[in-house]
Chain A
């Protein structure tokens, strides 16, 4: 590496980090975001407000209601004495309502029917699905207790959850959020900083300096690779200290994967900057790439859920590989087969986008 290039990189880093606000945004914000999302977001549905409707003397049903509230998933909905279940749900006062049979649960069950009604607010479909599943398990548990004789269940599943036995959402969200934050920062900042030079007109000054095209490109991009890696390390450290997210695989795997990923995203950011004339375009262009990348990455829902064509497209998404790798390395201990295929795929993407960015960059220079 030439002295000029090194000086150039140093100048870029100093420029980016000179401003206190920028330092805070670059290094403080990711940690704060990780903390908020790790603490606040949960894939588990909790605090479901359930209203129960029965005759006041329906003892078996009231015991069932107690079981619902004791399960940890349900809380009693606040309701007035004259409320109608449908209206209560329509006004948002309850998420679900359980209605006892008119004759009382015990009599109904002994007559061979035992049918209650469960009304679920399905305006959030995934939540509604969880509400139904939880209700069913509380009800069959209650039936077992009330009627003593164990149900004739031919198959009993012993469920063991690997890698995350307590099913803590943070263990699974932190790697995802980390991938997302690193991707966001590197792509948009790289794209905007290069577009800024063009917008303000300082680009000509750089070009007239005694540097080759490649040196200019490296000088402008290497600082962002460094910043992206620092952010990645920061987020992993914060995830470990705040949420106890383990790194079960070797650290070098984590470092190498992050390195390859950051190079790929910085190259994509550079490419975006070469097709935009100002910072607004660079930002919007960055989002045009980022949104699909985030949505196809498997951070929020499994990749396999998407239709076939989208799954195929997801294989072109570096973030998908990175998030999959992070979860594999951090939670599963880093399977070598997965590691090398995914790092290889990301490296190919990094090379391709870097090559493309370099060609476009040279064209815009001349």
Chain B
């Protein structure tokens, strides 16, 4: 009786599949979330800051001022808006009708024509950092363009660097967000859904019922988790297909390696979901636990949007313990860089260890809770 019976585990799995299929609405919601995320990140989200509303206060009116305005709008980053006399520049920034303001004082064009350096005051709305930091980054480029267009040749720099962007020449935001979505989807479905399903058995008392049958705890666990593993894998396959077919994201690495990374991370996530359900036993508590330890770290601490290297030292160390961070590194390496296992040995080793650790922990807790 102590040995693991695949037959009994399969029976539990079949029961779970029937559960899932009997509730098509839940299934549709679970599969609808990946579709929605891919649509959003694929079509709507662009991390390149564009169309910044710039109010130009031109008190000079000369040709150089006009040309500078053209340079701003031709850059594609700025959209000049008419300054409102009544509100004033600060009023426009306060109300958000403009994100930046440029002031050109009288004499601006004359100074430039005389070969001098004319100051231009540039005021930025700092309440939105993602915007402010990007805008401040564009200014050197604008100044460079102004150098070429306003003072003619001879203003070049003694040395400069020609930039080559590797793996994503056109800096397409989609290429890094869409493949990374598999981490979010695993974090969401594997952890949250599992935590809730198993917590529900505790809440309803049907777990006790299952226990009184000859099925061993290990078999219950395997049987309950396997269908969700398949469901989550379907979500990952969807992300893979849509990123390649719809968004043309390249896939340079090996498919087997990619699958291995997914299986490792899914194992870790499912085990985490199970652990949460054992600890919480109520769906609402399980949901909040899963949210805090699963979904939010997957979204925010994995390097999905905010780079891990920019975090303070303590948090960089903390992310070492988070499977999503390693999964993200592996996925980006495989899809865009075409890295092989020897180059990804570190993420894979970490993922393997974390998955094994989480599985062992969930197993131990699950068994001690079940066996008096």
Contacts and interface: CB of A to CB of B under 8 A. Distances in A.
B124 interface: yes
B311 A40 contact: yes
Contacts of A86: 166
Interface string B259-288: 000000000000000000000100111011
A105 B159 contact: yes
A47 B310 contact: yes
Interface in B128-166: 128-133, 136-144, 146-147, 150-151, 154-155, 157-166
Interface in B200-217: 200, 203-204
Contacts of A98: 161
A122 B165 contact: yes
Contact of A328 (B44, B96, B123): B96
Nearest to A118: B161
Interface stretch (A5-13, A235-243, A254-262, A304-312): A304-312
Interface residues of A, number: 121
B158 A147 contact: yes
B160 A115 contact: yes
Nearest to B295: A287
Given A33-B292, A153-B117, A333-B94, A189 B284 contact: yes
Interface in A112-145: 114-130, 132-137, 139-140, 143
Contacts of A29: 288, 292
Contact of B43 (A118, A196, A307, A327): A307
Contact of A196 (B45, B192, B284, B296): B284
Contacts of B353: none
B344 to A, nearest CB: 8
A189 B288 CA distance: 9
Contacts of A338: 94-96
Q: How large is the interface on B (under 10, 10 to 19, 20 to 34, 35 or more residues)?
A: 35 or more
B36 interface: yes
Given A48-B309, A159-B136, A305 B48 contact: yes
B137 A160 contact: no
A123 B192 contact: no
Contacts, number: 371
B123 A292 contact: no
Question: Secondary structure of the B side of the interface?
Answer: helix
A295 interface: yes
A183 interface: no
A1 interface: no
Given A120-B165, A126-B48, A307-B44, A301 B300 contact: no
Contacts of A95: 309
B127 A327 contact: yes
A277 interface: yes
A298 interface: yes
B176 A114 contact: no
A262 to B, nearest CB: 18
B164 A118 contact: yes
B150 A155 contact: yes
Contact of B123 (A19, A42, A160): A160
B159 A114 contact: yes
A285 B160 contact: no
Contacts of B312: 39-40
B40 interface: yes
Interface in A27-57: 29, 32-33, 36-37, 39-49
Interface string A263-296: 0000000000000111111011101100110011
A120 B163 contact: yes
Contact of A156 (B120, B188, B318): B120
25 contacts: A43-B130, A105-B159, A122-B165, A122-B166, A122-B171, A125-B173, A126-B48, A130-B133, A152-B151, A157-B121, A157-B122, A158-B121, A159-B136, A164-B129, A167-B126, A172-B128, A172-B129, A184-B291, A280-B26, A291-B37, A296-B44, A301-B47, A302-B49, A332-B94, A338-B94
Given A139-B160, A158-B120, A328-B94, 8 more contacts: A32-B292, A44-B310, A118-B162, A124-B303, A158-B121, A196-B283, A200-B203, A307-B44
Interface of A: 19, 21-22, 25-26, 29, 32-33, 36-37, 39-49, 86, 89-92, 95, 98, 105, 108-109, 114-130, 132-137, 139-140, 143, 146-147, 150-165, 167-169, 171-173, 184, 188-189, 192-193, 196, 200, 276-281, 283-285, 287-288, 291-292, 295-296, 298, 300-302, 304-307, 310, 324, 327-328, 331-333, 335, 337-338
Interface of B: 23, 25-26, 29-30, 32-33, 36-37, 40-41, 43-53, 64, 68, 90-91, 93-96, 112, 115-133, 136-144, 146-147, 150-151, 154-155, 157-169, 171-173, 175-176, 188, 192-193, 196-197, 200, 203-204, 280, 283-285, 287-289, 291-292, 296, 300-301, 303, 305-307, 309-312, 315, 318, 329, 332-333, 336-339, 343
